[in-house]
Amino acid sequence: DAGVIQSPRHEVTEMGQEVTLRCKPISGHDYLFWYRQTMMRGLELLIYFNNNVPIDDSGMPEDRFSAKMPNASFSTLKIQPSEPRDSAVYFCASSPLTGGLGETQYFGPGTRLLVL
Amino acid sequence: AQTVTQSQPEMSVQEAETVTLSCTYDTSESDYYLFWYKQPPSRQMILVIRQEAYKQQNATENRFSVNFQKAAKSFSLKISDSQLGDAAMYFCAYKSGTSYGKLTFGQGTILTVHP
C-alpha cells in the first residue's frame, strides 16, 4: 500500500495568496483527517470527513480555511487568503472503519507551509 | 475535554539501553484508546503502539512496550535495546471510545540516542 499521499511536501507563498494542500487517503479508508502542527499549539485537528462528508470542522481556525472531499480518494485544504500565522506543517491522516472507534489513524508525510 | 501531558520535553539514552517516556492523561470516559506515535526528522508520524483501555494487558510491539495504569491515568512507553533509529519526537495520543474523531496529542518528547 502506498500510504497516505500529500502534496506538495513544501510550499512557500506570500501573504494574501491562495494555498491548496492535497491529500490522497489509503484506499478503502472511510475517514480522513486534517491536522495542523505548530510549535505553539502542537498537533490539532482541523476537520475530519466520513465517507466524503465533513463531520466536524470545529477545529478550522477561521473562514479563510476550507476543506473538501469530492471523492473517496482525494481531499483538499485551502487557505485563502493566507497569512504568516498559517505557517505550519499540515498533516492528512486516514483510518478504516473496520477496527471500530479505536482504529489507528495513518498519517501522510505532511506539507510544510511557509507564508512570508 | 480530554488532555494529554508529556512532562519530559527531552530524554536521552545510550544505544542498547532502555528508556521510558512518560504520559499522563485526563478523561472522564471509561472507554478510550491510547497511542504512541513517533515523528523522526522526516516529520512522518508513525504509529509505534496502541492500547485499548478495556484491556488490562499491556501492549507490546517488539522492543516497544507500554505500562498502562488506568487508575492513575498513566501510559508510559518503554523502549528496550535502544537503537540510533529510535531517535525522534514521540507523541502520546488519546482517542475517545464513544465517538469517531480526533486524536488528542501530548506536547511530545524529543528522544536522543547516543552511540
Look at residue A100 and tell me whether its pLDDT is greater than 70: no
Q: How many beta-carbon pairs below 8 A join chains A and B?
A: 54
Spell out the residues 6+ positions from residue B101 whose beta carbon is closer than 8 angstroms to its own.
A45, A48, A55, A56, B95
Determine the residue of chain A that is closest to B40 in CA distance.
A109
- Taking the C-alpha atoms of residue B77 and residue B93, their distance in angstroms, rounded to an integer, is 12
pLDDT digits (tens, 9 = 90+) for A66-84: 999 999 999 999 999 999 9
Determine the residue of chain A that is closest to B92 in CA distance.
A43
Sort A104 into a burial class: Cβ within 10 Å, 0-12 / 13-18 / 19+. middle
pLDDT digits (tens, 9 = 90+) for B67-111: 999 999 999 999 999 999 999 999 999 998 877 778 899 999 999
pLDDT digits (tens, 9 = 90+) for A10-24: 999 999 999 999 999
Chain B residues close to A44, C-beta within 8 Å: 105
Quick check: B107 contacting A, CB < 8 Å? yes
- The predicted model gives A25-40 an average pLDDT of 93
